[in-house]
Amino acid sequence: MARLILTLFLACLAGAASAQDRRPSHCIAIADAAPGLEYLHRASWRDPLPEHSVRLHYIAHASFLLQTAGGLSAVTDYTGFLGTTALVPDVVTMNHAHDTHWTATPDPEIPHVLKGWGNYGEGIEHHLDLGEMLVRNVSTDIRSAFTGAEARGNSIFVFEVAGLCIGHLGHLHHVPNAAQFAALGRLDVVMAPVDGGLTLPLPEMVQVIERLRSSVVIPMHWFSGYSLNRFLEDISGSFAVERPGTSSITVSLRDLPSRPTVVVLEPRFLTD
């Protein structure tokens, strides 16, 4: 009897421990295996989050705030300014194609500052496990004013959280090769630059997005309504387009749209 009680006690402990683990993400064809899913929800970045969900808030340019139900926060392409807020993210990512995508003086209170580049031409590798969120990167090349191109000079960052794979394409300058697509896996949500010139030309960006087969695409890095509208026209044949008129959405595996959808968010700095 004592042995049975001990076994049950250990089983309960194991169950409690596993409940704190990150919900597994597959990065491969998740939406195809889950028909009949509901759509996304509008949200404010200060609202509480349901379990197994992630909030995405478009701050500005290429910067997004990702928040988890457990209280973790990450900011992409961090420039040092988030708005009139006291928020200190748990992790920030940066890319160095331009100074609007990084800062040399990040807030020293930020626990994890992940640069998307390393020594010239060598790239960098990240695999940061925060329990509820895993942050990793896939290096890509960028154009260089000095040599024409800098190998592995920037990164596509991937956030695996709440069963989702969320990718930020950064300052993407070329169509990823087969190995890079394989390393990315299937991204359920992708933030894609659609300026059409400083990053990829729009036809090539549409090609990348269609190859990734993401359920949700959030345009970023657009400087005028012209480039954004051109992108929306180019992709409307294969993706639904939604303009909810908000800066934030909350997304979960159970709520991914049944048809691949472009969701246009309005950039807005954070205010407390």
What pLDDT does 36 receive? Answer: 34
What pLDDT does 40 receive? Answer: 56
The conformation of residue 196, written as its DSSP 8-state character, comes to S
Tens of pLDDT, residue by residue over 228-251, are 999 999 999 999 999 999 999 999
What pLDDT does 65 receive? Answer: 98
Task: State the chain's mean pLDDT as an integer.
Answer: 85
Would you state the structure tokens that stand for residue 124, as one six-digit string? 């960098």
Tens of pLDDT, residue by residue over 82-129, are 999 999 999 999 998 778 888 999 999 999 999 999 888 888 999 999
Which string of DSSP letters, residue by residue, matches 154-190? Answer: EEEEEEEETTEEEEE--S--S---HHHHHHH---SEE
- Estimate the crossing angle of helix 202-212 against helix 225-235, to 10 degrees: 50
Residue ranges of the chain whose pLDDT lies below 70: 1-26, 28-43, 145-147
Single pTM value for the model: 0.85
What pLDDT does 24 receive? Answer: 64
What pLDDT does 67 receive? Answer: 97
What pLDDT does 191 receive? Answer: 96
What pLDDT does 41 receive? Answer: 61
Burial of 50 (0-12, 13-18, 19+ CB in 10 A): middle
